[in-house]
Amino acid sequence: MTPAATEAADAPVTHGYRAVWRWHFYAALWTAPLLLVLTLTGAIYLFDREIDGWWNGGIQTVAAGPTALPLARQEAAIEAAFPGAEVVRVRLPRDPAQAAVWNIRNAEGTPVDVFLDPYRARVTGTADPRWQPMTVVRDLHGTLLGGEVGSHVVELVACWTLVMLATGIWLWWPRTWKARGAFVPRLGTTGRRFWRDLHAIPAIFNAVFVILLVLTGLPWSAFWGPQFAKLGEVVPFVAASPNFKAPPKADGGAGSDPHAAHKAMAKADPDTAKIPWTIKHVHAPEGTGRGAIGIAQIEPLLTRLDQARFGGGARIFYPKGPTGVFMISYVPDKAEGQRTLYIDPGSGRVIGNIGWSDYSPTAKVVEWGVMTHMGRQYGLLNQLANLAVCLVLIGSVGAGLTLWWKRRPKGELAAPGLQTGDRMPRGIKILLGALAVLFPLVGATMLPVLAWSAWRGRAG
């Protein structure tokens, strides 16, 4: 059968259908390979703790004792084992049978994760945090290992996935409502119809969940995320917290860059990628300089975290730079348990205390979305549900690529052709225009596509 005949076999082909199909085709063709990478790495990262526990099992697992040693004793053991090292951060165990992970920069300036038995102050092993399996998977998922450029490419893929879904839903929308072919795949058929059903029907059931994953991931994107956060400076509903415009300050005032402390931490420790979006975008306080305050004075403040209710997830970041502060970052599985404390190392005074009740409505939605995106908010059920969404997405993208490959003439791209009078439906134009405005990178990349289409139209 010819492409036109097979199109007619499923539904009437209108001028609008061909125009929308063309946009869906190009959006899908360029996003599909990268979307498969992002989906696969996302599915793997859902189980980061399980994989880390298996990979580092020999050095992460310890025999639980009655009481962990004070953090000052543990710190002294680290300093004795690594003379000249600078302690950057400690990640406290989530489970009694786990080691504490002390991140240091050794005498050569190389970052090292040191696993320490918290009951015996004994080093059980070390690892390079830059090359831990889940660090590589996370970097692939977030930047395609391409740094800042890769982050923008990932954002483009995510936003164009919304274009692909919007046009795909329009193409799927039944002209005649029958269960088979609209909601139930016609598995007894062969050829184009078989692959079309395997592509479209699982995708339509999955679409809402994929949109949710895309939208909950966008606050961490390279361009859209910071621009969205900046709205908080003028729109209280979007502001990360009451501290967003009026940051807590130590005696001596804040510097010119309100986010300097978080930027310094990020350079010192990649683990700051796990700081909540809300905290990343609040104005970080500054300290009054180094004093006699150390980890011994910081440890009692851990009682301010509701770990009895929400479980583990506490990390302590050491001061960085002359005005750096101690930061206790508590990110349990449930977003509503989050809390961040800033402590001035010069005076020991708590100069910032930000919890769930301080978050704006938008910040609460974002943090709930992030934890749901990561498969944390609702436990194992959340992990398995997200995994199912990822697997269905991989399958539907694979079926779509197979459909294209089978129907394309050899050696040709086989993009859907346009005929005289083919026009995009008004509703799709409005929707794509809204996406272009909401997500500027989509709008910017639509312009050359529209210019090329116009040129092709005149050339034809």
> How far is CA 399 from its chain centroid?
26
Same domain membership, residue 292 and residue 345: yes
Question: Do 72 and 294 meet the contact criterion of CB atoms below 8 Å apart?
Answer: yes
Domain extent for 386: 3-23+147-218+380-459
Question: Do 59 and 158 meet the contact criterion of CB atoms below 8 Å apart?
Answer: no
Beta bridge pairs of residue 105: 86, 111
Same domain membership, residue 75 and residue 127: yes
Q: What is the pLDDT of residue 4?
A: 43
Same domain membership, residue 285 and residue 354: yes
Same domain membership, residue 193 and residue 124: no
Q: What is the pLDDT of residue 317?
A: 96
Q: What is the pLDDT of residue 9?
A: 42
pLDDT tens figures, 274-331 = 789 888 877 788 898 888 899 999 999 999 999 999 999 999 999 998 899 999 999 9
**Is 228 within the bounds of a domain?**
no
CATH of the domain at 113: 3.10.450
Same domain membership, residue 323 and residue 283: yes
Structure tokens at 134: 């889940």
Number of domains in the chain: 3
Alpha-helical segments (H) within 118-243 = 133-143, 147-172, 191-217, 224-230
**Is 196 within the bounds of a domain?**
yes
**Is 161 within the bounds of a domain?**
yes
Q: Which is more confidently placed, 198 or 242?
A: 198
Sheet bearing 314-317, strands edge to edge: 122-127, 111-117, 100-105, 86-91, 314-317, 326-330, 339-343, 350-355
> How far is CA 173 from its chain centroid?
31
Last residue of a domain, one of 359, 394, 423: 359
pLDDT tens figures, 113-152 = 999 999 999 999 999 999 999 999 999 999 999 999 999 9
Q: What is the mean pLDDT of residues 433-445?
A: 92
- Exposure on the CB side of residue 304, measured as CA atoms within 13 A: 18
**Is 347 within the bounds of a domain?**
yes
**Is 258 within the bounds of a domain?**
yes
Q: What percent of the chain has pLDDT over 70?
A: 86
Of the candidates 171, 157, 228, 192, which has an alpha carbon nearest to the alpha carbon of residue 12?
A: 171
Same domain membership, residue 244 and residue 345: yes
**Is 28 within the bounds of a domain?**
no
Last residue of a domain, one of 79, 104, 131: 131
If you count them, how many residues does the chain have?
Answer: 460
Give SS3 for 222. coil
How far apart, in whole angstroms, are the C-alpha atoms of residue 370 and residue 453? 37
Same domain membership, residue 335 and residue 301: yes
Contacting residues for 360 by C-beta, under 8 A, at least 6 apart: 232, 236, 237, 238, 239, 240, 241, 242, 244
Q: Which contiguous run of DSSP H or E holds residue 365? A: helix 361-373
**Is 370 within the bounds of a domain?**
no
The mean pLDDT value of the chain amounts to 86
Last residue of a domain, one of 131, 157, 192: 131
**Is 73 within the bounds of a domain?**
yes
